[in-house]
Structure 1
């Protein structure tokens, strides 16, 4: 697969065109961000951690029948994905109260929610990615009512699969963010990445943070934490 011109550069990834017009090459960068990009730091080794973790998780989701854009990992920092039209939504699924949820609703962090809660955020940097509801999604013509139901169904399926996967390696899935895209045929696919950048992960035994909150809250170093998650995934089922 030949890497061609840069198509898009985000906070932590670059997307390149390839010699196949249905495929992007993704390069993960050694960069950590918080506060919607207002805080940014170079973190050596982070790109290869997120690329490998995301590749492993997407392979697991594919095996469980969850439709996604992942094709294959081609190097420590690069992978190939299907080209989709990204829907400008961040879809958050919460199993345990944490982060902004605790502040908005005055719920103690760590409170187990009685059912998974899905939230939508309009992916627009100029507006600081505001929290929106179903009617806002339809008003902004982001997705149709039918697509919105498909997105919710997909998000809950991903939640079930991730909870099971992480529980096998003694990790509790607190919440996570996904993004989705449309194929040329109109199919809704899971897209972007799934990593400690996009999930809150706590050790099942100690409640130790195994995610980007160690960077957001300045309570530890990212690389050892991400290495721990990757090593647990690699060793899953070894015992």
Structure 2
């Protein structure tokens, strides 16, 4: 693409970030086909996975923007590439849980598939050296990762995100079990939702069968990850959007 400088700003586990030629406040986020789990203990490359995650993330960001949630998303420029606002990211993973599953069952005496009302919210330190430990407000403020006012605002926005996406997804036949999101500050210092919201960062269950349509399939060592992500694309995108990006020929 002519608007992307061949200068790679950042490489993550499944995404690359590029500088946009002539626009310092924008970046291109390229979703790769790489997939990891179990703290990097399991890795693979799955064809089409990156494009499916980008398409899903773009759609969910658009839904959130329509409901007043500020995101870094601007538009898709390719099925696997998202033009976004450049953010100064906060090194926090914000996890919102509606149903008890996964690590919550391993660490705490919740019942399997217990509905969590109100949702459980936690903050993890995004730091590979320390293996992303859970943080409380006191540690966050002591480390100067965020202020208490910023944490309160993050919680408020996350509850809105949960409400909006839970409603949108259940109407598509999917239960939003839990999700991980990240925030940053734009050039004006505004708190903005960033990163992605996709089957890599959420748990999505079929509303009738409770089958997984997310990265848990890969965590369990099972087949069908890309097929599951493809199904989510078909459920959340409109026919017009699928035709625009030629989803069936990606």
Q: TM-score, normalised by structure 1?
A: 0.96
Per-residue displacement from partner, 1:76-119 (whole Å, max 9, x unpaired)?
A: 11010000100000000011001111111122221111211110
Partner of 2:10: 8
After the TM superposition, which residues 1-239 of structure 1 pair with which residues of structure 2 at under 5 Å, given as runs? 2-4=3-5, 5-19=7-21, 20-235=23-238
Structure 2 unaligned regions, length at least 5: 240-250
Structure 2 distance, partners of 1:106, 1:226, is 31
Q: How big is the shift at 1:184?
A: 2.6
Q: Is the 8 A contact 2:25 2:187 kept in 1?
A: no
Deviates most, 86-95 or 38-47: 38-47
Per the normalisation by structure 2, the TM-score is 0.92
SS in 2 for 1:169: coil
Determine the C-alpha separation between the residues in 2 that align with 1:81 and 1:232.
Answer: 24
What is the number of residues matched between the two proteins?
236
Equivalent residue, structure 1, for 2:248:
none
- Structure 1 residues without counterparts, runs of 5 or longer: none
Deviation at 1:219, TM superposition (A): 2.9
CA–CA distance in structure 2, aligned partners of residues 136 and 55 of structure 1? 33
Q: Structure 1, residues 29-63: CA drift from partner, whole Å, max 9, x if none?
A: 01110022232101111011001111111111111
Write out per-residue CA displacement over residues 158-203 of structure 1, whole angstroms, 9 at most, x where no aligned residue. 1011101111111111100000001232211000000000100111
Q: Aligned-residue CA RMSD in angstroms?
A: 1.1
What secondary structure is seen at the aligned counterpart in 2 of 1:74?
strand
Kept after mapping to 2: 8 A contact 1:50/1:196? yes
Q: Using the alignment, how far apart are the partners of 1:73 and 1:81 within structure 2?
A: 9
Return the alpha-carbon distance in structure 2 between the equivalents of residues 235 and 17 of structure 1: 30
Offset of 1:156 from its aligned partner?
Answer: 0.6
Distance 1:145 1:31 in 2: 35
Kept in 2: contact 1:99–1:109 (CA 8 A): no
Q: Offset at 1:235?
A: 4.2
Provide the secondary structure at the position in 2 that maps to 1:154: helix
> Equivalents in 2 of 1:13, 1:204: separation in Å?
29
User: For the residues of structure 1 that align with 2:146 and 2:24, how far apart are their CA atoms?
Assistant: 24
